[in-house]
């Protein structure tokens, strides 16, 4: 990752990555012997951190170790996504598909877990995927456009054009039929 600049607003620290718009968000949690409390989203703080989108849909998925979902993108109705893990651990990836971008075809990845409480913001114009590293994981994400079922695109997770360095897991990867049939990137 290139040199980064962090902005703290409220209980959030926003760290810009080497790809414009892609942001890692660390969240302050308040805990004691009863458990913890944390804010997961607060619009004024996100705007101060450089993320000014209106989220309109929340999604959640559950997966077992070795599941790799992606790389997915929207063709005509792109979505910004704010992703996090509420149970377990995943390696989450964003690939820049914005034509004309100086980082076109480049990727950024981060480990998200229930333990680190980290979030990842992926702006419109990116392919997205994640690999489950723990026995189980529950993954949530906010989107700034609703899901359009006939608007899905995808590229192979292991396309050499991207060179994504996926972590090794001690099991076979599990991909959906759809994810096994994605075309190669021809950027």
- Residue 28 has a pLDDT of 96
Q: Cα angle vertex 153, ends 149, 157, to 5°?
A: 130
Residue 164 lies in a domain: yes
- Residue 20 has a pLDDT of 95
The residues pairing with 128 across neighbouring beta strands, listed in sequence order, are: 72, 94
**Contact between 40 and 85 (Cβ < 8 Å):** no
* Rounded distance between C-alpha atoms, residue 45 and residue 140, angstroms: 20
- Residue 186 has a pLDDT of 83
Residue 17 lies in a domain: no
- Residue 181 has a pLDDT of 95
pTM of model > 0.85:
yes
Summarize pLDDT for 36-86 with one digit per residue, the tens: 999 999 999 999 999 999 999 999 999 999 999 999 999 999 999 999 999
Residue 12 lies in a domain: no
Summarize pLDDT for 157-178 with one digit per residue, the tens: 999 999 999 999 999 999 999 9
Residue 46 lies in a domain: no
Spot the catalytic one: 72, 128, 155, 182: 72
72 in active site: yes
Q: How many domains does the chain have?
A: 1
128 in active site: no
Spot the catalytic one: 128, 141, 157, 182: 141
């Amino acid at each position: 990752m290139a040199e980064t600049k962090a902005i703290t607003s409220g209980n959030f620290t926003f760290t810009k990555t080497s790809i414009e718009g892609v942001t890692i968000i660390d969240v302050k949690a308040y805990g004691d012997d009863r458990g913890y409390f944390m804010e997961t989203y607060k619009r004024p703080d996100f705007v101060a951190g450089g993320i000014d989108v209106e989220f309109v849909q929340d999604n959640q998925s559950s997966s077992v170790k070795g599941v790799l979902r992606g790389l997915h993108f929207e063709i005509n109705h792109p979505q910004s996504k704010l992703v996090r893990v509420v149970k377990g651990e995943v390696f989450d990836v964003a690939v820049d598909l914005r034509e004309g971008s100086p980082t076109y075809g480049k990727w950024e990845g981060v480990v998200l877990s229930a333990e680190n409480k980290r979030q990842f913001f992926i702006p419109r114009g990116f392919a997205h995927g994640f690999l489950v590293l723990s026995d189980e994981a529950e993954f949530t994400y906010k989107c700034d456009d609703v899901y359009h079922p006939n608007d899905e695109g995808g590229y192979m997770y292991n396309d050499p054009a991207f060179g994504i360095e996926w972590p090794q897991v001690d099991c076979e990867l599990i991909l959906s039929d759809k994810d096994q049939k994605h075309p190669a990137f021809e950027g």
